[in-house]
Structure 1
Amino acid sequence: MKSATLLLLLLLLTTLWCPSSAVLAGLRMIKDLRKDLLLKTIIASASMEKATKSCTSTNSSGSYANCQSGYLAVSCSCGNSASWEIKSEKTCHCANQDWTSARCCKIGKK
């Protein structure tokens, strides 16, 4: 949206120095951008209507908790620390902990 506003402002400024054919070309470009954005929005909306989200939690003793196949780690909890990291998208790591928990989610088709 910010880029479209900037483009429109630039287009208005060029009307002072450019011939009308350049202005019309700029207006056509803005119209094409709007069509492209609308199409992408429609496609994204249709895709989300066909999607489901499934989440589960896994706990492990020690510093690592791994998500099962097909799931990605989205957050972690640690035994005695607020510091954690997600390694290789599927593993929660909490340094030197007695337990670690991972929240694992996947997106699938309905």
Structure 2
Amino acid sequence: MHPLKEYFRITAELIHLLDDRNTIDRDKRLVIIDEKLNEREELMKAIQPPFSEADEELGKQSVLLDKKLMMLLQKEKNSIQQDLANTKKKKKVQSGYINPYASLQTDGYFYDKKK
């Protein structure tokens, strides 16, 4: 298959995967997305001129899909970062319940210098 057509197809698949979040769990989806991005990167290297008019039109459509893909990947990244922040916050709160005196400050103690 022509590399540009394959590139377009894989980009469309990635957009579909990122749009449809409920079909498979996040870990499996991220593995698939990583594989598709690697395939897509290899195809980018294989796309070489000269281009026909149909190839140029497909290239323009690919650029539009790339913009949408980048937006969806950014949303996914933000979602993962938010989950990591929430997990760190929960871990800190939970450790506060386990050992509530660990975070006490030691300032203000009276030290007797006499012996």
TM-score, normalised to structure 2, is 0.36
TM-score, normalised to structure 1, is 0.37
Bigger radius of gyration, 1 or 2? Answer: 2
Q: When you count helix as a share of all residues, which structure comes out higher? A: 2
Q: When you count strand as a share of all residues, which structure comes out higher? A: 1
